[in-house]
Amino acid sequence: MNVTIFGTGNMARAIATRMLAGGNSVTLLSRTPDKSAKVAQDLAPHAKKGATVRVAALGSAIADPVVINTIWFHSAQEVIKAHSDQLKGKILVDVTNPLNQTFDDLATPPGSSAAEEIARVAPKETKVVKAFNTTFAGLIAQGHVANQPLDVFIAGDDAQAKATVAQLIEEGGQHPIDAGPLKRARQLEGLALLNITLQAKHAKPWMNSVKIVG
């Protein structure tokens, strides 16, 4: 499967690493594709089973069925609007955590989430899924924690879209967990905020993850 990623930052590169490791080709869309060319070079060694990676400009044509948004939430809505025509009928995965300016709370309206706000500006035919937001970029790139596959929580209202995202996660060597409908993104984003707060408070390496064991 081919995947398009909005952004070329740490999360974009980490998720691209997992996609490529699973044999899925990746196109990263960047505001500065010329400056981001080295990103493709750095990611290429992770590609398996003939997968490829390239960087193109934001606004380029999107042919892939799955689009992953890693752009900071406060800028993402405008990017989604700008690509509105191209996102119709596609799966749009949101990985963002809508932190406020002081990084001590979420900036979304009460009773909502970044994923739901993005769904509101996306075409109605777009299938929005929340995933990857509860784990830091370094761990996603690594793919495991304490020698166990990472848990990746998925929330969305379309069962087939979630199944497709789960398949990509499994192919990348991680463990998908269906967290329920898209409104569960509120709890997933709150869980990420808690993890971020604990990391900052205790000065731990940013390599901890939330995992379900039992």
pLDDT band at 207 (very low <50, low <70, confident <90, very high): confident
- Mean pLDDT (the chain) is 94
Q: Residue range 69-92: average pLDDT?
A: 95
CB contact at 8 A, 14 and 46: no
Q: What confidence tens digit (pLDDT) does each residue in 10-69 have?
A: 999 999 999 999 999 999 999 998 888 899 999 999 999 999 999 999 999 999 999 999
Residue 208 belongs to some domain of the structure: no
Q: Is the pLDDT of residue 92 over 90?
A: yes
Q: Per-residue confidence at 104, pLDDT binned at 50, 70, 90? A: confident
77 — pLDDT class (breaks 50, 70, 90): very high
Residue 66 lies in a domain: yes
Q: Is residue 214 part of a domain?
A: no
Cα distance between residue 128 and residue 148, in whole Å = 28
Examine residue 212 and state whether it is found in any structural domain, yes or no. no
Phi-psi region of 209 (alpha: psi -120 to 50; beta: other; left: phi over 0): beta
pLDDT bin (cut points 50, 70, 90) of residue 205 is confident
User: Does residue 13 fall inside a structural domain?
Assistant: yes
> Cα–Cα distance between 171 and 19 in angstroms, integer?
8
d(CA 171, CA 151): 13
- pLDDT range class, residue 70, cuts 50, 70, 90: very high
Q: What is the CATH number of the domain that holds 95?
A: 3.40.50.720
Q: Whose CA is closest to 4, among 76, 78, 61, 84?
A: 61
Query: Model confidence over 133-150: pLDDT tens digits?
Result: 999 999 999 999 888 999
The pLDDT score that the predictor gives to residue 181 is 98
CA angle 84, 90, 93 (to 5 degrees): 90
Instruction: Tell me whether residue 25 is in a domain.
Output: yes
Identity of residue 144? H
pLDDT of residue 200 exceeding 90, the answer is no
Domain count, the chain: 1
Longest Cα–Cα distance of the chain, Å, equals 47
In sequence order, the 6+-apart residues with CB closer than 8 A to the CB of 46 are 16, 17, 20, 21
Q: What angle do the packed helices 114-121 and 73-82 form, to 10 degrees? A: 20
Q: Which domain holds residue 177?
A: 2-202
Instruction: Decide: 142 and 116 in contact? Cβ < 8 Å.
Output: no
10 Å Cβ neighbour count for 38?
10
Has residue 11 been placed in a domain? yes
Instruction: With respect to residue 101, please indicate whether it lies within any of the assigned structural domains.
Output: yes
